[in-house]
C-alpha cells in the first residue's frame, strides 16, 4: 500500500523511537550485566522493535475496523483482568500478570487503551445526549468496571490513571459540568473512607511522601535515595555508568519506576531537561492529532491517549522528585517493562492511524 508523506505523522513516530532508545541506554546502565545480550536493555530493545512493527501495522489498519473492534477489545480486556484475579502470577505481593504461551503480559496496561477507545466509541455514538445523567452514568460504568478489577490486584497507580483520563474526556466533549464538579466534590468528601480502604503499604507510601525522613532506612529509603541521585547529578551529570547511587546499588527499582533518577544522576539537569522537552513534543503531537481529526471518535480518543501519556510522565517524574507519593507508575518509553512499552507503541499506532484518517467523518 502506498502511503503519502502527508498521511504519516513522522514527528510523533520519531519522538517515540528516540525516547525508547534513550530508555534502552539508561536501562543498560541501571541494570548492566556481563554482556549486552543477557541484559535487561537487550530485552527492552527487542520489545522496542516489536512495538515499532505493531505501531506501523496499526497505522495501516482500516479506521472503521478499529472503531468496530473497540467493544470486542474492551470486553476481551475485562475478561483478561478477571483471569488475572483467578490465575494470575503473583510478584511482590501483587497479582497483575498472566503467562500465555510462555509470554508474560500485564492486562492492566492494555486496559488503559481499551477503556479510552470504548469511551470514545460511546461518546461518538451518543454524542447528542452528552448533558444527560444517563450519559454520565454509562461513562462511569465503562471506566469503573475495569478500574475496580485493577484495584483488586492491587494496582492503585494504574487504576488511578483512568480517573483523569475519564474526566478530561468528559470535560472535552462538554458533558454536564454540574455532574463533573459534583463528582469531584463527592470524591474529596469520601477521602477518609478511601483512606480506610487502602492497604498498609499504600498508607505507608502516602505518609512517606509527607515526611520521608520519618523512616529513612525503611519506607522513606527509596524516595531519599532518588532525591540524592537526581541532586548529585548536577548540571551535566556524572556520566554513563558513573552514577554512584545507581552503580553501587543504593537506588531500588532503578530500571523501572525510578529510571528518571538514573537519568538525572548520570545525564544531569541538561540531560533530564532534554528528555522532558522530547516528552513535551510528544504530547504536542498527540494534541495536534486531536485538533486535526474531524470525527468525534478520533478527536476524543486522541485527547484521552494524550492525557494518559501526560499523566504517566507527570506522576512518575514528580514521584522521583518527592513531589508526589510513590505509585509504581512507569515512565513511558523509558522504564523497563514489555507490556508498558508495547502499550505505548500501540498508542502511537492509534494516533498515526487517526491522523491518516483525520478527514474521515
Q: Which residues contact 154 (CB under 8 A, 6 or more apart)?
A: 94, 199, 202
pLDDT in tens, 43-52: 999 999 999 9
Q: pLDDT tens digit string along 11-44?
A: 999 999 999 999 999 999 988 766 777 788 999 9
Give yes or no for a cis peptide into 135 (omega within 30° of 0). Answer: no
Q: At what angle do helices 107-125 and 296-320 cross, to 10 degrees?
A: 140
Does 206 or 322 have the greater pLDDT score?
A: 322
**φ/ψ (deg, to 5) at 276:** -65, -35
- Cβ(67)–Cβ(297) under 8 Å? yes
| 170-218 residue pLDDT tens | 999 888 888 888 888 887 777 777 766 666 766 776 766 676 666 666 6
Work out the number of other CB atoms within 10 angstroms of the CB of residue 190. 11
- State how far the Cα of 290 lies from the Cα of 275, in Å rounded to an integer: 23
Q: Which residue has the higher pLDDT, 346 or 91?
A: 346
Q: How far apart are CA 27 and CA 40, in angstroms?
A: 7
> Are 231 and 245 spatial neighbours (Cβ–Cβ below 8 Å)?
no
Q: How confident is the model at residue 102 (pLDDT cuts 50, 70, 90)?
A: low
Higher-pLDDT residue of 242, 311: 311
Amino acid at each position: 500500500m502506498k502511503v503519502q508523506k502527508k498521511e504519516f505523522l513522522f514527528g510523533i513516530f520519531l519522538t517515540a523511537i528516540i525516547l525508547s532508545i534513550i530508555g534502552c541506554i539508561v536501562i543498560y546502565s541501571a541494570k548492566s550485566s556481563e554482556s549486552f545480550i543477557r541484559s535487561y536493555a537487550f530485552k527492552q530493545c527487542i520489545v522496542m522493535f516489536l512495538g515499532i512493527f505493531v505501531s506501523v501495522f496499526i497505522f495501516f489498519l482500516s479506521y472503521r475496523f478499529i472503531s468496530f473492534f473497540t467493544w470486542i477489545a474492551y470486553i476481551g480486556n475485562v475478561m483478561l483482568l478477571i483471569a488475572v484475579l483467578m490465575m494470575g502470577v503473583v510478584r511482590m505481593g501483587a497479582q497483575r500478570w498472566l503467562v500465555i504461551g510462555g509470554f508474560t503480559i500485564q492486562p492492566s496496561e492494555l486496559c488503559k487503551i481499551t477503556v479510552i477507545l470504548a469511551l470514545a466509541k460511546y461518546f461518538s455514538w451518543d454524542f447528542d445526549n452528552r448533558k444527560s445523567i444517563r450519559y454520565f452514568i454509562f461513562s462511569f460504568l465503562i471506566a469503573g468496571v475495569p478500574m475496580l478489577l485493577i484495584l483488586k490486584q492491587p494496582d492503585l497507580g494504574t487504576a488511578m490513571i483512568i480517573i483523569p483520563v475519564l474526566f478530561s474526556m468528559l470535560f472535552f466533549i462538554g458533558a454536564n459540568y454540574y455532574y463533573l464538579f459534583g463528582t469531584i466534590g463527592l470524591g474529596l468528601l469520601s477521602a477518609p473512607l478511601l483512606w480506610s480502604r487502602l492497604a498498609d503499604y499504600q498508607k505507608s507510601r502516602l505518609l512517606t511522601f509527607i515526611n520521608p525522613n520519618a523512616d529513612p532506612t525503611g519506607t522513606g529509603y527509596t524516595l531519599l535515595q532518588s532525591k540524592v541521585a537526581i541532586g548529585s547529578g548536577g548540571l551535566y551529570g556524572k556520566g554513563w555508568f558513573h552514577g554512584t547511587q545507581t552503580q553501587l546499588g543504593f537506588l531500588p527499582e532503578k530500571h523501572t519506576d525510578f529510571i528518571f533518577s538514573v537519568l538525572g544522576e548520570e545525564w544531569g539537569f541538561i540531560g533530564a531537561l532534554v528528555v522532558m522537552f522530547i516528552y513535551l513534543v510528544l504530547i504536542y503531537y498527540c494534541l495536534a492529532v486531536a485538533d486535526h481529526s474531524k470525527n468525534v471518535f478520533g478527536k476524543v480518543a486522541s485527547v484521552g491517549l494524550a492525557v494518559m501519556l501526560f499523566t504517566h510522565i507527570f506522576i512518575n517524574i514528580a514521584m522521583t522528585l518527592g513531589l508526589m507519593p510513590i505509585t509504581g507508575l512507569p515512565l513511558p518509553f523509558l522504564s523497563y517493562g514489555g507490556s508498558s512499552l508495547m502499550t505505548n507503541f500501540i498508542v502511537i499506532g492509534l494516533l498515526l492511524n487517526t491522523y491518516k484518517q483525520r478527514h474521515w467523518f
